[in-house]
Amino acid sequence: MPDADGHPSIVDLLASIDYLRSLDQPALQAVARAALRRTYDAGQVVFFEGEPSHGFCVVESGWLKAIKMSPDGREQVLNFMGPGEVFNGIGVFARASNPVSVIALEPSTLWIIQRQTMLNLLDDNPRLAQAVIQDLADRVLHLVQLVEDLSLRTVEERLARLLLEQAQTDNLPRQRWATQAEMAARLGTVPDVVNRALRALAQAGLIAVERHQIRILDKGGLKAKAGLDP
């Protein structure tokens, strides 16, 4: 149910997150009371790498990116985060500074749950602790896969895998911020190379690139290109 201002209920939002579903209603309400709502404009930095970690972040609306930045200003995008997703668990649970920088790609709204609130929840909810461990393990596997892709796979192979990962159906709507520059930063290359890779996949009959979407025409062929099981 929306709140009095028309925003989605923070309790409902928290309850929709996989590993917070194990919390009972009083616990969810207590977390909701402690959460801080923050809004960000497109291009605004949520936090910088190396800053103290203040809390666990839940995306209510908008899209953001987590990046590492080289000394010469080149970005490597590690992840894109959208509505209903969470981030900064490593900074919270490892009691470490922020390991990445996070930037809003479009107007975005977050709920920030303070570190101590999350740590107290872990003490009181063993099922939550197990779910957090599983989530962090999945994120480690994601980073291992990213290292493997960047080291061992061609740009075409990496692009094919990325399209498959992002596809909910055979049509992939292109977000306003999803430029070839952003895609290149995710794939660890430059826009011209991404453009050539898109053309190559299209010429092979695997995808169709349209103004507002990319259509997957041959999912089996795209999986083969990505080195995945059909």
Give 33-47 pLDDT, tens digit per residue.
889 999 999 999 999
Tokens of residue 39, six digits:
């809004």
Q: What is the CATH number of domain 154-226?
A: 1.10.10.10
> pLDDT digits over 47-81, tens only?
999 888 878 899 999 999 999 988 887 889 988 99
Q: Where in the chain is the domain with CATH 1.10.10.10?
A: 154-226
Q: For residue 112, is pLDDT > 50?
A: yes
Q: pTM score > 0.85 for this model?
A: no
d(CA 174, CA 180) in angstroms, rounded, equals 11
- As given in the structure block, the two tokens for residue 175 are 């977000």
| Spatial CA neighbour of 145 closest among 88, 208, 228, 63 | 228
Alpha helices in the chain, H assignment, sequence order: 10-15, 25-34, 89-93, 115-124, 126-152, 155-166, 180-187, 191-203, 219-226
Decide if pLDDT at 165 tops 50. Answer: yes
3-class DSSP assignment, residue 53: coil
What is the structure's pLDDT at 8? 53
In this predicted structure, which of 32-46, 120-134, 185-199 has the lowest mean pLDDT?
120-134
Return the half-sphere exposure (C-beta side, CA atoms, 13 A cut-off) of residue 3.
11
Tokens matching residue 73:
């200003």
Average pLDDT of the segment spanning 194-222: 91
Task: Work out the mean pLDDT of the chain and round it to a whole number.
Answer: 86
List every span in the chain annotated with CATH 2.60.120.10. Answer: 10-150
- CATH class in words for 10-150: mainly beta
Read off the pLDDT of each residue in 89-115 and give the average, rounded to a whole number. 89
Percent above pLDDT 70 for the chain: 96
Measured in residues, the chain has a length of: 230
